[in-house]
Amino acid sequence: MNKEKIINLFYDNHLKVKDISMILNIDKSYISRIIKKDERYLNEKESRKQVSKIRHLETTKRIVKRNRESLKFKNSVDDLILKNMHKQASMELSKGKYLSDESYRKWNCSAYKYNPSKKRYEFREELGRSYDVPKYIKERN
C-alpha cells in the first residue's frame, strides 16, 4: 500500500522525496530505496534535472534583467544630476564678464577650506595663489 502511494506521488504527482516523507511520515531513505527500484527512475531523474536546469536559467535571466533595469535607472538619475550640475555651472560661469568670489569658490571648491571660527573660506596656501585669486571669502548667510 505505502509503496504504491510513494511511487504514485513521485512519478505521477512529481513530488520530491522530502515532500513525500512529510506527507506519509516515512523516512526519506526508505522512500529513495523504493523509488530507485522502479524502472522509470533514470528517466524521471533526467527529466527533473532538465526542468531544474530550465528553471535555473529563467531565474538567472530574471535576476540579470532586474539588475540591469536598476542599473539603468541609477545611471539615468546620475546623468540627470550631472546634466543639471553642468547647466548650473555653465550659467554661473557665463553670466557676465565678472566672476563673483562665491562663484569662484564653488567652481574651485577643493582650493578653499572653511574656517568656522572666522566664518570664512580660506585659500589653501600649499596650492600657490596668484594675485587675482581671493585669499578669503566670507560665508554667505
Contacts (Cβ under 8 Å, ≥6 apart) of 129: 123, 135
Reported as a pLDDT band with limits 50, 70 and 90, residue 97 is low
Over residues 49-77, the mean pLDDT reads: 88
Alpha carbon distance 18, 34 (integer Å): 14
* pTM for this prediction: 0.46
Cell of 61: 535571466
**Which stretches of 54-129 are assigned E, i.e. beta strand?**
112-115, 120-123
CB 140 within 8 A of CB 108: no
